[in-house]
Amino acid sequence: MTQDIDSVVLNFSPTSLTVLNLVLAIVMFSIALELKPQDFRRLLHAPKALMTGIFAQFIVLPALTFCLILATNPQPSIALGLILVSACPGGNISNFITYRAGGNAALSVSLTAFSTVAAVFLTPINIAFWGSLYGPTRTILQETAIDPVSVAITVGFMLVLPLYLGMSLNGRRPDLTARLRRPLQYLSMGIFVAFVILALASNWTLFLQYATAVATLVLLHNGLALAGGYTTATLAGLSAFDRRSITIETGIQNSGLGLILIFGFFNGLGGMAVVAAFWGMWHIVSGIMLAGLMARTPAPGYNAKA
């Protein structure tokens, strides 16, 4: 069953891709309504937690992903799907889950914003670098001839532009954003989940057929991401309050961006698309479960800062 996954292409129309782009932009805009320029300046004065989170996101996780691929030797398209997911910035739901876990929600939102901006440069670099180190995925990259500049432009328009617009609105009309913030976040997350489900509906038979081929790997990968974030934050000597944020931020990936890149640049390559879609569902489950466990023991600083 899994021998053909590298040749499978999931159907995803140009209209569907446009709608997904718009949905992801709305999600990012809703996150940006939490931010003001002074939030960035404050973190830059105490950058340790922020830099630790970025390091865990873009250095530790891709390296752990590469080790997982070497240890398990998956099908090439599955391997490249894991690499691509690990190269994406933190996902939008990470902020909600961090809040539920009793972590530093302000740090989580700022990490999502910073990693989103950094993704313009680091996402294409990580895909090209780690993908080229593994022979089978290097072949796919060579055949695809992916342009890192095009990836950077896509990330910029889908994530950075809505981030800027949301922050600008929050700075000029905080009264309006205060009313919009929470309803828009819930609405955007609901629309995103519904859209992914509907988009997969046209490929449901194929998705179910190959989901078992990636399930174990995605669970392992997500576990490595969470463990990598926690370990990195612990080694950096961060508080439990910040550690929870970095753990969750590293373990919750922007799989929506991953799907956009897969359908936009890799023609919906089967193994990659199934990995990103499965990730998009599983990290919500694992994140909520982890938040429930963390919330049982309040972290010092939570009551003062939440």
For the question of whether the overall pTM of this predicted structure is more than 0.75, the answer is yes
Residue 101 in this model has a pLDDT that exceeds 80 = yes
CB 21, CB 257: distance < 8 Å: no
Q: Match 């996402």 to its residue by tokens.
A: 123
Instruction: Using the predicted structure, report yes or no on whether residue 7 has a pLDDT greater than 60.
Output: no
Which residues are registered as beta bridge partners of 253?
Answer: 90
Q: What's the pLDDT score for residue 57?
A: 94
162: nearest Cα among 121, 119, 117, 196:
117
Please tell me the predicted confidence (pLDDT) of residue 304: 40
Which of 263, 140, 278 minimizes the C-alpha distance to 210?
A: 278
- pLDDT for the residue numbered 206: 65
Closest CA to 167 of 40, 256, 46: 40
List all residues 6 or more positions away from 244 whose beta carbon is below 8 Å from its beta carbon. 98, 101, 102, 103, 104, 294, 299
Q: What is the CATH number of the domain that holds 25?
A: 1.20.1530.20
Length of the chain: 306
Question: In the predicted model, is pLDDT for residue 159 greater than 90?
Answer: no
**Between 42 and 27, where is the model more confident?**
27
| Domain span including residue 145 | 2-305
What's the pLDDT band for 306 if we cut at 50, 70, 90?
A: very low
Q: What is the mean pLDDT of residues 89-108?
A: 82
Q: Please tell me the total count of domains within the chain.
A: 1
pLDDT computed for residue 27 by the predictor: 74
What is the rounded average pLDDT of the residues 241-268?
86
Stretch 53-78: mean pLDDT: 95
pLDDT confidence of residue 11: 58
- pLDDT on residue 296: 86
DSSP code of residue 56: I
The mean predicted confidence, pLDDT, of the chain is 81
Task: Give the per-residue pLDDT at 3.
Answer: 45
How many other CB atoms are found less than 10 A from the CB of residue 298?
Answer: 13
Q: Could you tell me how many helices (H) and strands (E) the chain has, helices first?
A: 16, 0
Summarised one tens digit per residue, pLDDT across range 33-43 is 777 776 666 66
At residue 215, the pLDDT reads 87
Token pair in block for residue 199: 């988009």
146-158 average pLDDT score: 74
| Contacts (Cβ under 8 Å, ≥6 apart) of 183 | none
- What confidence tier does 151 reach under pLDDT thresholds 50, 70, 90? confident
User: What are the residues whose beta carbons fall under 8 Å from the beta carbon of 153, sequence distance 6 or more?
Assistant: none
Q: What angle do CA 303, 283, 151 make, to 5 degrees?
A: 110
Task: Tell me: pLDDT of 272 over 70.
Answer: yes
Higher pLDDT, 61 or 212: 61
Q: What pLDDT was estimated at residue 246? A: 95
